[in-house]
Chains A and B, each alone.
Chain A
Amino acid sequence: GALVYQYPRRTICKSGTSMRMECQAVGFQATSVAWYRQSPQKTFELIALSTVNSAIKYEQNFTQEKFPISHPNLSFSSMTVLNAYLEDRGLYLCGARLSGTGQAVFFGKGTRLTVV
Chain B
Amino acid sequence: GEQVEQRPPHLSVREGDSAVITCTYTDPNSYYFFWYKQEPGASLQLLMKVFSSTEINEGQGFTVLLNKKDTRLSLNLTAAHPGDSAAYFCAHGNEKITFGAGTKLTIKP
Contacts and interface: CB of A to CB of B under 8 A. Distances in A.
- Main SS of the interface on chain A? strand
Contacts of B51: 102
B43 A44 contact: no
A43 interface: yes
Interface string B81-109: 00000000100001111111110000000
Contacts, number: 44
Interface residues of B, number: 21
A90 B95 CA distance: 24
Of the candidates B1, B44, B96, B101, the one having the most CB atoms from chain A within 10 angstroms of its own CB is B44
A102 B34 CA distance: 10
B100 A43 contact: yes
Nearest to A42: B101
Interface in A97-112: 101-110
B32 interface: yes
B46 interface: yes
Contact of B43 (A60, A93, A101): A93
B88 to A, nearest CB: 11
Which 4 pairs of residues, A with B, have the shortest CB-CB distance? A109-B43, A44-B99, A104-B49, A107-B44
Interface of A: 32, 34, 36, 42-44, 46, 49, 51, 60, 93, 95, 101-110
Given A51-B95, A109-B42, 12 more contacts: A42-B101, A43-B102, A44-B89, A46-B96, A46-B97, A46-B98, A60-B1, A95-B97, A101-B94, A102-B31, A104-B34, A105-B34
Interface of B: 1, 31-32, 34, 36, 42-44, 46, 49, 51, 89, 94-102
